[in-house]
């Protein structure tokens, strides 16, 4: 049986934490910063944890 391949797109977007959770970047950080408040821009800089409903699917994509 051949080796499982990890999803290369997912590997660039997600990282596993030490406790086994999956970290992701925030959306809405590409452009139009003049219409966003400083508080919103500060929040968007922080990483987020992938939702529990999607965690199993993302972990499967990261298997190598």
* CATH code of the domain containing 43: 4.10.410.60
Q: Which residues of the chain have pLDDT under 50?
A: none
d(CA 11, CA 51): 17
Structure tokens at 49: 């944890």
pTM: 0.79
- Note whether residue 3 is domain-resident: no
pLDDT at 11: 94
pLDDT at 58: 96
Structural domain count, the chain: 1
The answer to whether the CB of 10 falls within 8 A of the CB of 61 is yes
Structure tokens at 3: 């080796």
- Note whether residue 2 is domain-resident: no
pLDDT at 4: 86
- Note whether residue 31 is domain-resident: yes
pLDDT at 64: 65
């Amino acid at each position: 049986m051949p080796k499982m391949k990890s999803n290369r797109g997912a590997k660039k977007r997600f990282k596993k934490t030490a406790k086994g959770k999956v970290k992701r970047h925030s959306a809405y950080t590409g452009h139009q910063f003049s219409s966003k408040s400083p508080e919103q821009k500060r929040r968007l800089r922080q990483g987020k944890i992938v939702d529990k409903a999607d965690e199993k699917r993302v972990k499967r994509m990261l298997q190598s």
